[in-house]
Amino acid sequence: MSYLRFAGFARDDRSHCSIGMFQIAYQLVKPELEFYLRTEIRSCLDWFNKNLPPPARVCRPSHRRYAICWFQPTAQQEIAMARRMVVAIEEAGVPMRTLRTTRPGYIVHRDPQQIVAIPFNPC
């Protein structure tokens, strides 16, 4: 089973992995961003807020390592919306990439749409 993640190229200091699309999207949604891009990204974020339950855990305090989220391969609707948001993020000038893995790390949360895993190694 291959999990899917959309990320930028900059690293996140907490997870030691590439910054994910949600962090990037929230950083971009500011008044100075062109209106149509801000509206598109905000629309995608609103959809995710309504349709994708937030994971219960993103950090294991005993390890001080932050976990990252991956889409389950069966989450077709969520992946389609993520691709739509990635297009808008890239149009706003932030290069993105699609990451796939069969070994996401130590899984701390799983639901039908996503997993949350503490990476075995920096990603």
pLDDT-derived band of residue 65, with 50, 70 and 90 as boundaries?
Answer: low
CA distance 11 to 30: 21
Q: What is the pTM of this model?
A: 0.89
Q: pLDDT averaged over the chain?
A: 91
Q: What is the largest CA-CA distance in the chain?
A: 43
CA distances to 55, 89, 90 from 49, rounded to whole Å, are: 12, 18, 21
What is the average per-residue pLDDT within 25-50? 97
- Alpha-carbon span 65 to 19, nearest angstrom: 15
- What pLDDT, in 10s, does the model give residues 71-86? 999 999 999 999 999 9
Between CA 109 and CA 32 the distance in angstroms is 36
